[in-house]
Structure 1
Amino acid sequence: MHGPVSPAWLLVALCAATGSYCLLRMRSGVEEQRRAAGGEALMGFGMAAMAVPASVFAPPHWTWPLYAVVFGAAALRALWAARRDTHHLHHLIGTSAMVYMSLVMAASPTAHVHTHVGAGVPLVTGVLLLYFTGYVLLSGARLVPTGPAAGGAGSRRWGDRPELARACRVSMGIGTVAMLLTM
């Protein structure tokens, strides 16, 4: 991705930490947590790899189409999973956004898509920015506690804490917004 080096390293750290926690969630005793955690770990680590500043490491040109294939496969998996649970529609949009960003980067590190809205923002980028900004704001608002803390929450394992899973999803949404802004 293109952009300032310091924020890029912060994005790498955020996404790698999120991916690491998602790997921990894959050991959860709750099947729902395990099912979603693998795809979210892939997203976290993929975003971390894509966010490494180009001034530090410029990946070979074949890397971007490879990312598109990997995230395309993840998008197909999310589409298949969405048949039984609409929560996976968000995963489908997220993986599709990663495919889009990979294809834009594969076209040319400085290329811009020609379908523009307003002042030069590509149409797809604009739609994805609107979606992920709304997702971050709504999901972030849901993280704010509205009542007394539930008793016994400290006895749960780290991989079984739904509030941490939601926080990871919000942080990946923030990461996606940051990556889309650099496109």
Structure 2
Amino acid sequence: MHIPVSSGWLLVALCAATGAYCLLRMRSDVEEQRRAAGGEALMGFGMAAMAVPAAVFTPPGWAWPLYAAVFGAAGLRALWAARRSRHHLHHLVGAGAMVYMSLVMAAAPGHGPGHGGSGVPLLTGALLLYFAGYVLMAGVRLVPVPAPAGPSADATAGPEARATARASARASAGGWGDRPEVARACRLSMGIGMLAMLLAM
């Protein structure tokens, strides 16, 4: 990946901070929050490690296949969890993107972010389109909208919406791990980070 040193450190800081917040979310009382937070924490820290500028640290050749194996396992877990929530399909795509970038880096002559190849242009382009769309959608979800009043609104909401509503109620009592708007902002940050890493290939 051809990331300038200053941009690389910004990406490292963004992804590491996101991973740290996702670890905090793993203490949530909401089961769906806990399930999603573990995969998102792994993604955040994995992206942070991958974005470290090559001028500072070049990973050994065995690190990239290890990344691919770890995120391959995370992808299988996300595929299994997708039976309960379609949000895990996004985790599956993210894990697949990390496996893809790891394999590209493993095949690169220098085995480091400053020496990466371009990968398969069609696959890189498809991932760029997906994450660009995800970033736009995640940004739209951060825009506050008035919630419908009345008991029928909660009855017609899906399980994810009800979990978010419960998380909001807990967050108002001071539970930072249950703030859905911060969780959405973290997902947006990771989507932007993934876009930056794919563009640098």
Question: TM-score when scaled to structure 2?
Answer: 0.83
State the shift of 1:173 in Å. Answer: 0.2
Structure 1 CA distance for aligned equivalents of residues 94 and 6 of structure 2? 24
Partner of 2:111: none
Task: Tell me the C-alpha RMSD between the 2 structures.
Answer: 1.6
Partner of 2:134: 135
Letter in structure 2 aligned against 1:20: A
Identity %: 75
Return 5+ residue gaps in structure 1 as ranges: 116-121
Return 5+ residue gaps in structure 2 as ranges: 109-114, 148-164
- The structure with more radius of gyration: 2
Partner of 1:107: 107
Query: Are positions 1:176 and 2:194 aligned together?
Result: yes
State the shift of 1:144 in Å. Answer: 1.1
Partner of 1:118: none
Contact map agreement 1:75 1:92 (CA 8 A) in 2: yes
State the shift of 1:110 in Å. Answer: 3.3
Partner of 1:52: 52
Structure 1 CA distance for aligned equivalents of residues 24 and 57 of structure 2? 28
Contact map agreement 1:25 1:159 (CA 8 A) in 2: yes
Structure 2 CA distance for aligned equivalents of residues 97 and 141 of structure 1? 23
Letter in structure 2 aligned against 1:2: H
State the shift of 1:52 in Å. Answer: 0.2
Structure 2 CA distance for aligned equivalents of residues 54 and 127 of structure 1? 26
**How many residues are matched?**
175
Structure 2 CA distance for aligned equivalents of residues 32 and 160 of structure 1? 11
State the shift of 1:147 in Å. Answer: 3.3
Structure 1 CA distance for aligned equivalents of residues 116 and 192 of structure 2? 23
Partner of 1:145: 144
Letter in structure 2 aligned against 1:162: P
Structure 2 CA distance for aligned equivalents of residues 87 and 96 of structure 1? 15
Structure 2 CA distance for aligned equivalents of residues 138 and 62 of structure 1? 36
State the shift of 1:156 in Å. Answer: 3.9
Letter in structure 2 aligned against 1:34: R
Partner of 1:86: 86
Letter in structure 2 aligned against 1:28: S
Give CA deviations for 1:147-168 in whole Å, capped at 9, x if unaligned.
Answer: 38x9965324001111111111
Query: Are positions 1:167 and 2:185 aligned together?
Result: yes
Structure 1 CA distance for aligned equivalents of residues 104 and 43 of structure 2? 18
Give CA deviations for 1:46-99 in whole Å, capped at 9, x if unaligned.
Answer: 000000001110010110010000000000000111122111100000000000
Structure 2 CA distance for aligned equivalents of residues 91 and 81 of structure 1? 10
Letter in structure 1 aligned against 2:116: T
- Secondary structure of 1:29's counterpart equals coil
Contact map agreement 1:2 1:54 (CA 8 A) in 2: no
Letter in structure 2 aligned against 1:111: G
